[in-house]
Amino acid sequence: MTIHPEIAKILAALPAPDGSPLDPAAMRAGEAAQVPPLEDRLPLHAVEDTTVPTPSGAVPVRIYTPAEAESYGLLVYIHGGAFFLGSLDTHDHVARSLAKETGCRVISVGYRLAPEAAFPAGLEDCYGVLRWAAEHGDQLQWNGRTLAIAGDSSGGNFAAAAAAMAKDDGFTGITHQILFYPSLDLDFDVDRYASLRENAEGYGLETAGLAPFNAFYLDNGADPADPRVSPIKRADLTGLPPALILTAEHDPLRDEGELYGKLLAAAGVQVQVSRYEGANHGFVANFSWLPEFYRAFRETAGFLAGTGAVTGAGTGAATGTVTGSGKA
């Protein structure tokens, strides 16, 4: 299917890359300028900014409460941005929609960014907040059932890595992992996945841009061969929490996300993989105002509730949904 027409309009208006060096400060300022004012954001029962203590230090978080209730499922959310962009503000709308549709209390993590913070600082922040949430269930009115971790793009990388860290630490409390178009393999050899060539140019995130965008992370102590950096390289995937993986048809990273789903299923993990037709990388963060892509939040809610994928048809619908557990 061709790219969604609304996405195509925006892509056509973007300036062509000029090859100049990336400037993190300028790019962050540009993102911040696009954040809508508070009065234009999805209203929820409560939104609180605070910091939580972790072994790596105090980490800023934003806690979203969708409605007044006696108890809540908990969802730790990790924003994307190639490990050097993104913030609690730039992805505030994602966290709000996750809270609204899932009914969970969402804890969004303001982790340290590259290049200022060397690996594994950001990952340790995310894992520390996950463990804090698990240890403070009474304070967070946890319902004792759902403790999920979610992330988009590089945030999906951190979510997958944190789930594996929890398993290695003997912490089995995570009930679900949700990965939106995750960056799971930071070896950018274009022959590793067909989607790196198929979607190399013209869809926003370009294959040639992967290395320079991720260089702030990789040049600061993150080794692509390390499973904490490239979760798809983990040798033993058994015992990881059930996974929902959403991929985009027109995304260079599409195939690594879908392969990770197959590897998890082969390791006995329950997996649901949905490819969103007509979508490009970042569609949950950038284009969820389109009903076809807002469905990602409802699919997440269905996954957490155990009711399966939301079905749909037409441009932007999720297709190729597979579920599996046990050896493939």
d(CA 117, CA 115): 5
3-state secondary structure of 71: coil
Question: How deeply is 11 buried, as exposed, middle or buried, from its count of CB atoms within 10 A (0-12, 13-18, 19+)?
Answer: middle
56 an active-site residue? no
223 an active-site residue? no
How many other C-beta atoms lie within 10 A of the C-beta of residue 74?
A: 26
Q: Which of 87, 97, 108, 153 is catalytic?
A: 153
Q: Which of 97, 251, 255, 274 is catalytic?
A: 251
Q: What is the DSSP string of 58-70?
A: EEEEEEEE-S--S
* CB 110, CB 61: distance < 8 Å: yes
Residue 81 contacts by C-beta under 8 Å, 6 or more apart in sequence?
A: 31, 87, 90, 113, 153, 154, 155
d(CA 305, CA 132): 23
Handedness of CA 83, 214, 206, 153 (dihedral sign): negative
251 an active-site residue? yes
Task: Name the CA radius of gyration of the chain, rounded.
Answer: 18
3-state secondary structure of 27: helix
Q: Which residues pair with 47 in a beta bridge?
A: 64
Residues classed as catalytic: 153, 251, 281
